[in-house]
Amino acid sequence: PLGPTSSLPQSFLLKCLEQMRKVQADSTVLQERLCATHKLCHPEELVLLGHALGIPQPSLSGCSSHALQLTGCLRQLHNGLVLYQGLLQALTGLPPELTPALETLQLDIGDFAINLWREMEELGVAPAVPPTQGAMPAFTSAFQRRAGGVLVASNLQSFLELAYRALRSFAKP
Amino acid sequence: ECGRISLPTPTVHLGDPITASCVISPNCSHLDPESQILWKLGTELQPGKRQRRLADGRQESTITVPRLSSPRVLLSCCVRWGTSLQILDQAEVQAGYPPATPHDLSCLMNLTTNSLICQWEPGPDTHLSTHFTLKSFKSRGNCQTQEDSILNCLPNDGQNHCSIPRRDLLLYQNMSIWVEAKNALGTSKSPQLCLVPMDVVKLEPPTLWALAPSPEVAPPQPGCLLLRWEPWKPSLYIEQKCELRHQPQLGEDSWVLVGPLLSQTLQYELCGLLPSTAYVLQMRCTRWPLPGQWSDWSPSLTLTTAQR
C-alpha cells in the first residue's frame, strides 16, 4: 500500500484532473438546464426537501488537507463516484430536454469511476470487493426528480471541488 | 418452366473462366424438345458449347467462358424458334477481386459530436459490392486482451469513415480498432489500432480577437499587436497549448510561427513586426501536456501595427 507521502503517476493525475473538470462541466450544464427549464436555480432553496429525500453525501475525510492520505482518499473518491452513479441513475425520468445532459454526466462519471478503479488496482490500493451503491432515495414525483437533480448536481460539484484540491497535492513535487 | 441456367457461383475473379449449364424441359409447350440450345454472352452468340440428352429426356447444354473480362456479364440460354431466337433463362455473372487490405486507418475524438470518428483507405476498386465494418473492443494495457466488445460500426454505403458513439466508449481507456472488408470473393482486415479516445481528441480552433486598449491595457508599441483569444468552449476543461502564425497581408512572406502559448494566457503582445503594416493572424490549439491532435487553424484575424 501507498505511504502517506506517495504521489500519483503524472499521466494518471493529469487525466484524473481533466476528467474531474469534465464532470464538473457536465454537472454545470445539467444545473443550467434545470434552472432554464424549471427555474430551479438555487440548491439552497431545496435544503429542506433534500433532507426529506435523504440524499446521501459521500465522505472525503481522507482527502481533506489536514488528514490527507492517498489510499484513503482514492477509495473515498471512488466510493463517491459509485454513489453518484447510483443517484444519477435514480434520476432517470427527468424531462426529455434534460436527458442529453443527464446521460453525458452519467457516461462521464462512469468513465471516471472505471479509470480510477483500474489505477487503484495497478497501484495495489483497490479494496478486495468493489463498492456497491447502497440504498438510493426514491424520487416519487417529477418535481422531486428535478429538485433531486439540482441537489445531486450541486453536491457533486462540491464533492469534486474538494477531491480536485486533494489530487493536485498528490502531484510529484 | 422452359429453361433453367445453373452456375457454380454467381461471382468469379475477373479474368477467370466460368462454366454454366442450361437444361430445357421437354414439357415446355410449343418447344421442340430436340432444339439446339444456344448461348448469348451479353448480346453475342457464343461458340463452344456441348449439348447432351439427360436420362430423363431433358436436353442439357454446357458452356465455358474462358475469361470474364468485365465486372458484370449477362449469360442467356436460348433456342431458335421459327425465325426468332427465344431466351429461356438469363443469369448475371459478376466478376471482380477480393477486397484489398484497408489501410491508413486513423481516428479522431470529436467533442462536437461526442464520437470517435475513424476513417480509412479502402484500397483499389474490387468491382464487386464490398462492405466495410469498423470493429473494436475495449481493452486494458496494450490491447492484447479483449474486455468488452463494442457494437460494429457500419458506414453508410460508399463511405470510408464511421463514428463510434460516446455511449460505446471509455474515453480514458485503451481500445483496439480495425476495419474489415468483405465481398463475395473474400474478406480482409486492416492492421489494428490501439488507442485511448481522449488521446486523439481534436479540438475546434480558438477564437482570436484584437485586444482593445483600455485603462488597464496600454496601446501597443510600433511594430506590435495586442491580441487575445478564447479556447473553444466545450474544451475549457482540457489543458491546452496553442500556437499563433502570422504573415503580412500583402506580399508573399510565408507564415511565421509563434508558440507555444499556454491556454491560460488568453492574451498576448506580438512584437517584432513592421510598423503600419496589416498582418493576418491565425491560431490553433491542442490538448497538452496530455496527448491530442492539433485543431485546424482559426479563421484569420487581420490587424494593423501602430505607426512609428
The interface predicted TM-score of the complex, written ipTM, equals: 0.82
Contact list, A112 vs chain B (CB under 8 Å): 172
Q: Is the pLDDT of residue A78 over 60?
A: yes
Most confident of B38-42, B174-178, B270-274: B174-178
A114 shares contact with chain B (CB less than 8 Å): yes
Beta carbons of B171 and A118 less than 8 Å apart: no
Average pLDDT for B258-279: 86
- Give the model confidence (pLDDT) of A136-165 as tens digits: 999 999 999 999 999 999 999 999 999 999
What pLDDT shows up at residue B244?
Answer: 95
Measure in Å the smallest separation between the Cα of A62 and chain B Cα atoms.
25
**What length does chain A have?**
173
C-alpha cell at B303: 490587424
Q: Which of A10-14, A62-66, A79-83 has the lowest mean pLDDT?
A: A62-66
> Mean of the per-residue pLDDT values for chain A?
90
Q: In whole angstroms, what is the distance from residue B129 CA to residue B152 CA? A: 19
Q: Is the pLDDT of residue A19 over 70?
A: yes
Shortest CA distance from B168: residue in chain A: A107
Q: Is A87 exposed, middle or buried (0-12, 13-18, 19+ CB in 10 A)?
A: buried
What pLDDT shows up at residue B248?
Answer: 94
Beta carbons of A18 and B239 less than 8 Å apart: yes
Q: Between A25, A107, A118, which is nearest B140 by CB?
A: A118
Q: In whole angstroms, what is the distance from residue B102 CA to residue B98 CA? A: 12
Q: Between A11, A103, A114, which is nearest B170 by CB?
A: A114
Q: Is the pLDDT of residue A67 over 80?
A: no
Write down the pTM of the prediction: 0.86
- Give the model confidence (pLDDT) of A23-32 as tens digits: 999 999 999 9
Q: In whole angstroms, what is the distance from residue B158 CA to residue B144 CA? A: 31
> Mean of the per-residue pLDDT values for chain B?
92
B236 shares contact with chain A (CB less than 8 Å): yes
